[in-house]
Structure 1
Amino acid sequence: MQETKGLALEVRLSAYIDGEIGEAEKTELDSLLAQDDDARALLERLKAGSTFGNRAFEDFLHDPVPLALVRQIKQGPGITPRFERVATANLPKRSLRIWPRLAVAAVALFFLGSVGGFILGSAGNIVDPAPEAADRSWIGEVAEYHAIYSRQKKHLVEVPASQAAEIQSWLSSSVGVAFRIPDLTRKGLTFEGARLLVANGRPVAQLMYRDRESEIVAICFLKNGGGGKPDQFRETIRGDLSLVSWQRNNASFVVVGPSSDAGLQDLAQMVAAAI
């Protein structure tokens, strides 16, 4: 049991709520609460704050983190919360025990504010799920293929980059889409070669690139793909993959890469102009 006599009333009532005081102090505080309206109001505020904080933090732990916030964390945002050292040498034990709770609450509120602000700020950019459902037949399969093939070390591609002319002839005739192999060295991507996939019962070309961190980025396309306005870029997240898709003429395209890559939209636009 804690000895709280002589401490601030907030500290004493916090210990009272937690049941961490002796019978004598409890009797004393009961008497105070029976006579003092301000003390009762303070007790109710402490109880309400504790309940709200617990619920908010529990909800926060179960909420999905928005993609942009994940990317910001991975890339290192310009502003990082700092907690300055607090001198606690002369604080009573009860106060020292309260500080960790306050720190946790501060962190929770910071992230709740960040996530909430992101959601409110992005409300106008929510993508209608209907187009994604229409593309599921081939984009979903491409994501599944990529998750497997991108892990291959010796057999990443069927035809290596050194046979670029053969790749263009082979895939153009197999898929029915004329194309050029984009040079993405300005984006730090090295062309590794190509594969032929099958998605939704149709042949799909897959051009494979490797970035400076050895992550694999793929360009996939097929003839007469799903609907959508020409050159309208739409990003879909599937697990740890991001897929940016668009349509042009008689073909549908998608760029597949790590979901942490915030530059995938720009890359897709570069590919669209070069392919």
Structure 2
Amino acid sequence: MQQTKGLALEVRLSAYIDGEIGEAEKSELDTLLARDDDARALLERLKAGSTFGNRAFEDFLHDPVPLALVRQIKQGPGITPRFERVATANLPKRHLRIWPRLAAAAVALLFLGGMAGFILGSSVNTADPAPETTERPWIDEVAEYHGIYSRQKKHLVEVPAAQANEIESWLSSSVGVAFNIPDLTREGLTFEGARLLVANGKPVAQLVYRGRESEIFAICFLKNGSGGKPDQFSETIRGDLSLVSWQKGDASFVVIGPSSDAGLQDLARTVAAAI
């Protein structure tokens, strides 16, 4: 437990929020907060700053890694698999916790006009973050589905590849998009079957394939999706997955595979021509 007596009030309250002070100090601060409106207001600002800082740092950790860097790490000689994660993932927990507290201190300093305490040497915009939109990109949702279903052993698909005709009629009527199941054996992929997913409240078809090394690929599509311009292929990274999306007619498509696969764009073009 920390001993914060004699330090600035914002420092003491910061430790109070973290639960890093002893019972005697906690009781003393509880008494202060019960009778002092300014202290309570400062506590609320520190809590708000901590929440904002946590959210900002979480967003930073989840920023997509450039494709070229991902593939260089995964395919480059002499690099062991344990270095595949972003460097910040290996930081000690006590270092990761500094960021939310710095954000909280910055908010307090901005409101208190330069009081003694955490001297950050930089200003923070205290405007409330813009409200998040309720609708997420559909490919983000199917990427999450893929991350779950691709680990299934006995239940990888709903309908197996042996029922290909049923899959085409079932998904065409469910999704509203006519299609053919692409034969990707020349690309080293074996068709395993299909699933019906939901993204942004819309039905999404998922065709599942297995690679030569048992890696799982998928083709997903929905009607009137948020795809790009016709014949324009866009590739993005979501964790250890790569997604190549495009628009065709009134449907949006995406091919999902391992982010280390440098040929995913070529695969997507083959799928676009065959589906």
Query: What range is the shorter-chain TM-score in?
Result: 0.5 to 0.7
Q: Equivalent residue for 1:187?
A: 187
Correspondences of 1:56-75 after superposition (within 5 Å): 66-75=66-75
Identity %: 84
Mapped partners of 1:259, 1:244: distance in 2: 10
SS of aligned partner of 2:191 = strand
Correspondences of 1:33-112 after superposition (within 5 Å): 66-76=66-76
Taking structure 1 as reference, are residues 227 and 259 closer, same or farther at Cα in structure 2, changes over 3 Å only?
A: closer
Taking structure 1 as reference, are residues 220 and 65 closer, same or farther at Cα in structure 2, changes over 3 Å only?
A: closer
Q: Which runs of 4+ in 1 moved over 3 A?
A: 63-66, 133-136
Mapped partners of 1:177, 1:64: distance in 2: 30
Correspondences of 1:139-178 after superposition (within 5 Å): 139-178=139-178
CA contact (8 A) 1:134 1:226 kept: no
Mapped partners of 1:222, 1:135: distance in 2: 15
SS of aligned partner of 1:245 = strand
CA contact (8 A) 1:158 1:193 kept: yes
Between Structure 1 and Structure 2, the one with more helix by share is 1
CA contact (8 A) 2:233 2:246 kept: yes
Mapped partners of 2:136, 2:246: distance in 1: 14
Correspondences of 1:25-40 after superposition (within 5 Å): none
CA contact (8 A) 1:240 1:258 kept: yes
Mapped partners of 1:244, 1:211: distance in 2: 17
TM-score by length of 1: 0.55
Unaligned runs of 5+ in 1: 1-62, 82-132
TM-score by length of 2: 0.55
Q: Equivalent residue for 1:214?
A: 214
1:171 Cα deviation (Å)?
0.3
Q: Equivalent residue for 2:244?
A: 244
CA contact (8 A) 2:228 2:245 kept: no
Mapped partners of 1:136, 1:236: distance in 2: 15
1:65 Cα deviation (Å)?
6.4
1:166 Cα deviation (Å)?
0.3
Taking structure 1 as reference, are residues 255 and 141 closer, same or farther at Cα in structure 2, changes over 3 Å only?
A: same
Mapped partners of 2:162, 2:244: distance in 1: 27
Instruction: Tell me how large the CA RMSD over aligned residues is.
Output: 2.4
AA partner of residue 223 (structure 2): K
Mapped partners of 1:140, 1:184: distance in 2: 24
Mapped partners of 2:203, 2:148: distance in 1: 18
1:151-170 CA-to-partner distances (Å, cap 9, x unmatched) read: 00000000000000000000
Mapped partners of 2:241, 2:203: distance in 1: 22
Unaligned runs of 5+ in 2: 1-62, 80-132
CA contact (8 A) 1:206 1:219 kept: yes
SS of aligned partner of 2:137 = helix
